Amino acid sequence: MSRPAPPRLRFIAVPAVIAMILSASGHAEAGAHTRHLFWGAWIGSQLTGQTPPWHMGPVHRFGKLAGKGLSLVEFGSPFAECDKGGCTPTKFPTTPLRDIRAYGAIPVFSWNSASTPTRRHEPNYRLGDLIHGRFDHYIREFATKAKAWGHPFFLRFNWEMNGTWFPWAEGVNHNSRGQFVAAWRHVHDIFTAVGADNVSWVWCPYADPRRELAGLRGLYPGPRYVDWTCMDGYNWGRGRVNRQPWMSFHRIFSSTYARLLRLAPRKPVMIAEFASSTYGGSKSTWIRRAFRALPRRFPRVRAVIWYDQIDRGVDWPIETSRAATHAFRAAIGGDSFVGNRFDDLAGTPIRPPSR
């Protein structure tokens, strides 16, 4: 999917000293008390030639590469699949959800109000149509089947809404200011009305280190409508696609993370898509430093998902080199990353792992 260029010793005043002490104590607390995290991947077909989770072979294969079972498996679908013969509404993915749960992971289902192939301009899938009820029958049927399935899962709806590359963003596809929040609440309210309370709602903007994208405050549906906040972000490097400077994990995510904490200070944070290319630096070093930064710099992040797919030739998967695979395996091997032991998970909203 198309994404944008992201976009020392001296006398110190007493307030600054207090701030330093508080900061140091916070880092000490983070080190003293291990914060456990969900972890997983959005896996492509490159591992076995099959597409997960409709086939679970790639999930097992990825877990072997990582040395641990995944606690999250991400996948997605639009409102409709289109081809020359027309569009067919996508069905609630009961079988993939069931198979992910049987494996012991929690499904992260990325669902969007568009069709495939997804384009920025889709006149049949505008936010105004969603708000005014054009898709209510479909959404209600989807929500009813979610309730019938009955088990907890994450629903990441209309992600990266602060960009301009998806048709559900404001300012494109004839969408107006304020419509994103109205559309989100409308869909959420339908799920609530049918009693689909096994859904944990994930609100997921794109990381914006240069402040080039839309502001987040006007896109946030509010605490009643969001269970987890989220970020997506990539180290694109200097390849042929979306060429950018090589950027560290901290540089990519830190400013957006700070904005999320100001906007929703009590919500746990998920990173639902992240990865590094190999164009311009060492991917294995980037991975090691990313996972070192997580507990120290991002203590509210309680779930991370690697984007293990080849997108327009960009080499995101961990298996692109032995060094990258080993770096990822070593990072995930720590006790703070929980494995696939959630086949009996109950209760929503889904809470961060406690052990």
Does the residue 107 lie in any domain? Answer: yes
Check whether 274 has a pLDDT greater than 70. yes
Rounded to an integer, what distance in angstroms lies between the CA atom of residue 111 and that of residue 329? Answer: 29
Q: Write down the pLDDT at residue 313.
A: 84
Please answer whether residues 306 and 59 qualify as being in contact, where contact means their C-beta atoms are separated by less than 8 angstroms. no
Structural domain boundaries enclosing 168: 36-332
The yes-or-no verdict on residue 4 having pLDDT over 60 is no
Please indicate, yes or no, if residue 203 is contained in any of the structural domains. Answer: yes
Count: domains in the chain: 1
In a domain, 17, yes or no: no
Q: Tokens 């209309």 belong to which residue?
A: 158
CATH of the domain at 301: 3.20.20.80
Task: Return the closest-CA partner of residue 242 out of 275, 216, 219.
Answer: 275
Residue 267 has pLDDT above 90, yes or no: yes
Pairing of strands 228-235, 199-203: parallel
Dihedral through CA 165, CA 168, CA 173, CA 175, nearest 10?
-130
CA 234 – CA 272 distance, rounded (Å):
11
pLDDT digits over 91-101, tens only?
999 999 999 99
One-letter amino acid of 166: F
Say if CB 317 and CB 278 are below 8 A apart.
Answer: no
Stretch 170-184: mean pLDDT, rounded? 98
Residue 25 clears pLDDT 70, i.e. is over it: no
More confident residue, 4 or 314: 314
162 in any annotated domain: yes
Q: Does some domain include residue 12?
A: no
Residue 29 has pLDDT above 90, yes or no: no
Tokens of 54: 């409709």
The reply to whether 202 falls in a domain is yes
Residue 29 lies in a domain: no
**What is residue 22's three-state secondary structure?**
helix
Q: Considering the domain boundaries, does residue 185 fall inside one? A: yes
pLDDT above 80: residue 131: yes
